[in-house]
Structure 1
Amino acid sequence: MRMRTTSVTRRVVILSLIGLMALPGVVMGQRGMAAEELVALREKSIGIVRAAAASGDATLRMNAIEASQPVPGLASELVGPLMLDEVAPVRFAALMTVGELRLEQHAQAAVDMGVDTDHSVRAAAIYAATQNGLKIDVSPLARYVLSTDPSVRGNAAMILGEMGDPSAIALLQEAARQPFGRHVTAIRREIVRVQLAEAEVKLTDRDRVVSSAKDNEIMSPIRAAVYSQSDEIRVLAVSMLGPLDDRRMIPMLASLLENPPAELQLAAARSLILMGIEDGLPIVIRALGSAYTGVRAQAAYTLGDSNDPTTLVLLSDTLLDEDPLVRLSAAAGVLRRLPTEADAQRLARQ
């Protein structure tokens, strides 16, 4: 949910002006791109996503699926073959997209994936089928969310959260109490605990419990993880706050904008942007110049959530990055801003 924009700090606004003036391709006072430029930008982004989906790199194939989601026709084109990919996480991502976008033409194929060798893929197949209205046995999800395999448990929790059935809350709470095998690290256990908490929050009617002790109770595992000693866990928790619209944490998110590592700053900036607060934009823009591929990719992806028209110029430039993952992240950002040609025409008139 996007809320009204509020100012978090004056310092960030000043940094925004400095950052924009220092970047090539961005002219102060520029309001955007012409309609034909935006249409061409969108088409170029679609081409990059298609190329990534056909890549020999499984990471690119998996991320291409997510990048295609704002354009359902493109997503439908890609998920068919990728549902049969040799790499399980790619199959998982394809099936989740079939469910999220309700691509009913792929629903029966999803049912057939219910016998996949990978349990996370089986769980995603159940999600894809049920989201498209097919009546199948969903009871295996209970087994998967209680699995001793942290990946299976975490993925099953995410799926239960997306399915929207509040009756699954008790099962998620039981899963949070279940032990893992000795080989599972403390960090991995904590990551799954946060994933379980996120799923429970999604299944709770927070409009009825916000500003109450109950809201503190259901959000506490995620809020506590923001202060973890592990940067990986902190980034995960911070990245959840925006999509969950946890406005109580806005002051904390604002404070993180100035505290490295860059991945944490970018996660905080995106969560703020998702709540309608763009004061973290200069941090995102600055990160486009990072020497680290992962940081540039995260920054490019985050720009796709901004409402600032000048950021499309930056995304256009980033489509030329030397790294294919960064180019794909920029393409994903463009398509979130311009899911249709009509959106390009509309934005050009603003």
Structure 2
Amino acid sequence: MTDRLRCLPTFAGVLATLAFAGGCVPADPSKPWSTRDQSTTVEVVETEYEIVRPIVIEPTEPAPGSGTQPVIGGRSSVVVETTEVVVPTGPIVLRGTTPAARSTSWLLNAVVDPQPIVRATAFEALEGNPDALYEAAPFGLIDENRGVRFVATMSIGDAGLAGLAPLIAPLLSDPSASVRAAAIYAMNKLGEGADPSPLAAMARSDDPEIRANAYLVLGLMGNPSAIPLIESTLGTGMRLVNPMRVRLTELQAAEALVLLGDQDDIEPIRAALFTPVEQGEITVLACDMLGRLGDEQARSMLFRMIAASGNQTRPPEIRMAATAALFRLGPPLPEDLGNLILGQVEDRDPRRRVQAASCLAVVPGRKALAALEVLLSDAEPMVRTAAAGAILSRPDSRQAAAAAVSN
């Protein structure tokens, strides 16, 4: 698991930190964020974990009394099989003797979930289990949704799955510019090499999705020669784009510049902490970036955001993001700081449970892991997926899995 599995904003632009929300989450105001899984139960089976073929779970009728939730991702050859679709006769079964094994069991179902955002998050979450990702990733590379293809490709690169490079190469000609950018990144990460020059045109695109993903890839590739290119694009183009989308994209540029060594560009990210509450998505993204970039000078600002009271009190989404950023920065921290996130685990809004699950990835201690195990059996597939990714990314979860194998 890499730092790309971030605390997901629960505002309008879900997964804005990945800059592909437009391709992954088609807006449908006529129905809730997800009610499909309200009729699905989850059963935990204490058996040895094994990689199984993913299946799609499609309940045929709602459970009695189920309500509607409030509106709210070195092998020589690879064979890609057709995804099997079955009608369930019982509950979803999470197989495994450890939280990590049960998380993987769910994620192998989630990669073929009907919701693109669940599939995308599942592929990234599987970076915490490279063997399972190797088995499942080919499904993501041929997914009909460009956001899913983008995330699956990036995850293969981050996980170093060189055996899948032959399947990524065709994506250098994908219809989606974002997917082509991901393929350039992955091929270079896997040592195969790919011409990065198309990223220059993408970074000048008037499409904020394409531009933001180009910034992301340029920052992660780590070549400081990209600094002048990124700087030359700031303040240009995107004249007809929503100003909030523009600002989110420019924050992606600032993060890329800091990653490439231009530390002065941390200032726009710090300034974003003081964005008006109604633009809270920007603040959540800024908190996330500052935590991952290790900005110690932001520590006092983050604490003030959490402690503010009265008419200065920040919404739970922002307070959770600030708390997670502080955990990324590390000690010194108040002993009970994690309670702010733990208090959202049972919130009736699935979006907050998703964010809580993602943020608990960086909260140490048995309470956090226990809360994630509860969320792994949540009624909402997106909550389960976020919890599974958080579990696989935690050192204590990996230690428990290793101990189970040794016994």
Cross-structure match for 1:249 = 298
**Distance (Å, rounded) in 2 between the aligned partners of 1:77 and 1:62:** 15
**Distance (Å, rounded) in 2 between the aligned partners of 1:340 and 1:293:** 24
Q: Please state how far the C-alpha of 1:83 moved relative to its aligned partner.
A: 0.7
**Distance (Å, rounded) in 1 between the aligned partners of 2:112 and 2:286:** 32
Higher relative contact order (CA 8 A, sep 6+): 1
Cross-structure match for 2:179 = 121
**Distance (Å, rounded) in 1 between the aligned partners of 2:193 and 2:113:** 35
1:263 is aligned to 2:317? yes
1:227 is aligned to 2:281? no
1:285 is aligned to 2:345? no
Pairwise mapping of residues 265-344 of structure 1 onto structure 2 (< 5 A)?
265-277=319-331, 279=334, 280-337=337-394, 342-344=399-401
**Distance (Å, rounded) in 1 between the aligned partners of 2:399 and 2:287:** 33
Pairwise mapping of residues 18-167 of structure 1 onto structure 2 (< 5 A)?
39-167=97-225
Moved more, 146-155 or 254-263: 254-263
Deviations 1:129-148 (A, max 9, x none): 11111232211011101111
Cross-structure match for 1:236 = 285
Which amino acid is 1:252 matched to? M
Deviations 1:102-155 (A, max 9, x none): 211111221211111111011111111111112322110111011111110000
What is the TM-score of this pair, normalised by structure 2? 0.71
**Distance (Å, rounded) in 1 between the aligned partners of 2:231 and 2:317:** 30
**Distance (Å, rounded) in 2 between the aligned partners of 1:306 and 1:171:** 37
Which amino acid is 2:318 matched to? L
Note closer, same or farther for the CA distance 1:282–1:266 as it changes in structure 2 (3 Å cut): same
Deviations 1:194-231 (A, max 9, x none): 110000000107xxxxxxxxx4x321111111111221
Note closer, same or farther for the CA distance 1:124–1:311 as it changes in structure 2 (3 Å cut): same
Which amino acid is 2:384 matched to? R
Q: Please state how far the C-alpha of 1:298 moved relative to its aligned partner.
A: 0.8
CA contact (8 A) 1:253 1:269 kept: yes
Which amino acid is 2:117 matched to? T
CA contact (8 A) 1:65 1:94 kept: yes
Secondary structure of the corresponding residue to residue 252 of structure 1? helix
Cross-structure match for 2:232 = 174
Cross-structure match for 1:218 = 265
What root-mean-square deviation, in Å, do the aligned CA atoms of Structure 1 and Structure 2 show? 2.3
Q: Please state how far the C-alpha of 1:55 moved relative to its aligned partner.
A: 1.0
CA contact (8 A) 2:140 2:148 kept: yes
Deviations 1:259-288 (A, max 9, x none): 331111111111111111454311100011
Q: Please state how far the C-alpha of 1:340 moved relative to its aligned partner.
A: 7.3
Identity of aligned residues (%): 33
CA contact (8 A) 1:338 1:344 kept: no
CA contact (8 A) 1:108 1:129 kept: no
Deviations 1:268-316 (A, max 9, x none): 1111111114543111000112121111111012112122122211111
Which amino acid is 1:221 matched to? P
Pairwise mapping of residues 186-205 of structure 1 onto structure 2 (< 5 A)?
186-204=243-261
Q: Please state how far the C-alpha of 1:345 moved relative to its aligned partner.
A: 4.8
5+ residue gaps, structure 1, are: 1-35, 206-214
Higher helix share: 1
Note closer, same or farther for the CA distance 1:289–1:342 as it changes in structure 2 (3 Å cut): closer
Note closer, same or farther for the CA distance 1:266–1:315 as it changes in structure 2 (3 Å cut): same
CA contact (8 A) 1:157 1:199 kept: yes
**Distance (Å, rounded) in 2 between the aligned partners of 1:112 and 1:289:** 44
**Distance (Å, rounded) in 2 between the aligned partners of 1:193 and 1:45:** 35
**Distance (Å, rounded) in 1 between the aligned partners of 2:388 and 2:304:** 29
**Distance (Å, rounded) in 1 between the aligned partners of 2:398 and 2:193:** 36
**Distance (Å, rounded) in 2 between the aligned partners of 1:186 and 1:341:** 42
Which amino acid is 2:381 matched to? P
Note closer, same or farther for the CA distance 1:304–1:340 as it changes in structure 2 (3 Å cut): closer
CA contact (8 A) 2:302 2:322 kept: yes
Aligned residues: 303
CA contact (8 A) 1:266 1:284 kept: yes
CA contact (8 A) 1:38 1:344 kept: no
